[in-house]
Amino acid sequence: MWRISRRQLFWCKTLLHVAAALPLLWLFLAVNSDAAGGDPVQYIIHFLGKGALNLLLLTLLVSPMARWSKQGMLMQLRRPLGVWVFAYACLHLAAYFSLDLLFAWQLLLQEVVKRPYIVVGASAWLILLSLALTSFKAAQRRMGRHWQQLHYAVYPAVILVVVHYYWSVKSEIIEPSIYIMLALLLLSLRLKPLR
């Protein structure tokens, strides 16, 4: 049977990095050329948040795809994808703190404690942080089986992220509802081996 070669995997990864970086370049150009509105703050924050969510769902799609296509090598795409999720999530947070709150530390601390949708988002970010910090090979080796246990936390993280999205909108709930269903679908694919 045909298998993806190392070389092909290398190109897959390269393509992945380019594809994940391009939207950031697009965002930069759009904001710079005034195409993102008169006050693009909300646009930037939503763009980065949704970018993180899209990449997170893509990360969860890797192992079902690898299993379905019987291409085990594809599993190696999870690390670069996961790191990109974390990068987008950090930029999302940074944009909220710098552009919306305008570096008001006190307000940030108050909001993180008081607002349920920000609590939920911040918890998801903390999970992603712990996964990103332990994403290196060395960490994987040192942690042994605990590494896998920790990285199962991506499942609650995706739930937190879609709830955060649903909760953050004023009334336009159709799109976040679709994301919730996609997340549940991807998680349900994982239930099968447990049966």
Partner 1 sequence: MNRKFIKGILHRPRWELPQSEVTPEAVFRERRRITAMLGFGSIAASLPGYVQAGIFDLFGEPQALAPTRQLNFTVDQQYQTSETQTPYDKVIRHNNFYEFGTGKQDPFENAQKFKVDPWSLTIDGLVDKPLTLGYDDLYKLLPLEQRTYRLRCVEAWSMVIPWVGFPLAALLKKVGVSSKATHVAFETLFDPEQMPGQRNPLMGGGIHYPYVEGLRLDEATNELTFMAVGLYDKTLSPQSGAPIRLVVPWKYGFKSIKSVVRIRLVDKQPPSSWNQLVPHEYGFYANVNPQVDHPRWSQASERRIAEGGLFNAKRIPTLPFNGYAEQVAAMYQGMDLRKFF
Please give the Cα distance from 147 to 152 (Å, whole number): 9
* 8 Å CB contact between 158 and 187: yes
Asked if residues 111 and 61 have their Cβ atoms less than 8 Å apart, the reply is no
Using CB under 8 A, which of the segments 79-87, 115-123, 142-150, 152-160 binds partner 1?
115-123
**Is residue 177 involved in binding partner 1 (CB under 8 A)?**
no
Indicate whether 105 belongs to the interface with partner 1 (CB under 8 A). no
Instruction: Give the residue with the Cβ less far from partner 1, 174 or 191.
Output: 174
Give dist(CA 122, CA 49) in Å, integer. Answer: 12
Q: Which stretch binds partner 1 (CB under 8 A): 10-18, 33-41, 66-74, 141-149?
A: 33-41
Binding letters toward partner 1, positions 117-156, x by CB under 8 A: x---------------------------------------
Cα 42 to Cα 26: distance, rounded to the nearest angstrom:
16
Question: At its nearest, how many Å lie between partner 1 and the CB of residue 163?
Answer: 13
Asked whether the beta carbons of 133 and 139 are under 8 A apart, the reply is: yes
Q: Kindly report the length of the chain.
A: 195
Compute φ and ψ for 4, nearest 5 degrees: -65, 130
Judged by CB under 8 A, the residue of 168, 182, 187, 189 near partner 1 is 168
Q: Which of 170, 192, 193, 195 binds partner 1 (CB under 8 A)?
A: 170
Q: Which of 15, 22, 35, 184 binds partner 1 (CB under 8 A)?
A: 35
DSSP structural state of residue 38: S
DSSP-derived letter for residue 103 is T
Please, what is the end-to-end C-alpha distance for the chain in angstroms?
Answer: 29
C-beta atoms surrounding 48 within 10 Å: 23
Under the binding rule (CB under 8 A), the answer on residue 19 touching partner 1 is no
Positions touching partner 1 (CB under 8 A) are: 26, 29-31, 33, 35-43, 98-102, 104, 107, 110-111, 114-117, 167-168, 170-175
